[in-house]
Amino acid sequence: MNIQMIIDYLKEKHWRTNDIVYVGSYMLIASIFTTPVLGIPIGLAAFLYFNDKENLDAYKREYNRHNK
């Protein structure tokens, strides 16, 4: 999994209100324990790992199929 694939996934994702709340919460919690510069990407990674893992895996399979 590379950074460009994750960026493309985040651009194409259909964001719901609770997704945005979760991302904001993870970023806030990560920023409390680290600096905000590190808290934002750590919070986004936590959201992708805990809340969107199966959707990201499905997107990764499609992304690899179309780019081969």
Q: Is the Cα torsion angle 38, 30, 40, 58 positive or negative in sign?
A: positive
Residue 27 lies in a domain: yes
Q: What is the DSSP letter of 63?
A: H
Distance, first Cα to last Cα, the chain: 14
Segment 54-67 shows an average pLDDT of 81
pLDDT at 61 exceeding the cut of 70? yes
The answer to the question of residue 1 being in a domain is no
Structure confidence at residue 68 (pLDDT)? 63
Top pLDDT among 36 and 66 is at 36
- Count: domains in the chain: 1
Residue 23 to residue 19: CA distance in whole angstroms: 6
Instruction: Answer whether residue 8 is part of any domain.
Output: no
Cβ–Cβ < 8 Å for 55, 8: no
Which domain does 56 fall in, by range?
A: 13-66
pLDDT of residue 65: 80
Tens-digit pLDDT profile for residues 5-30: 888 888 888 999 999 999 999 999 99
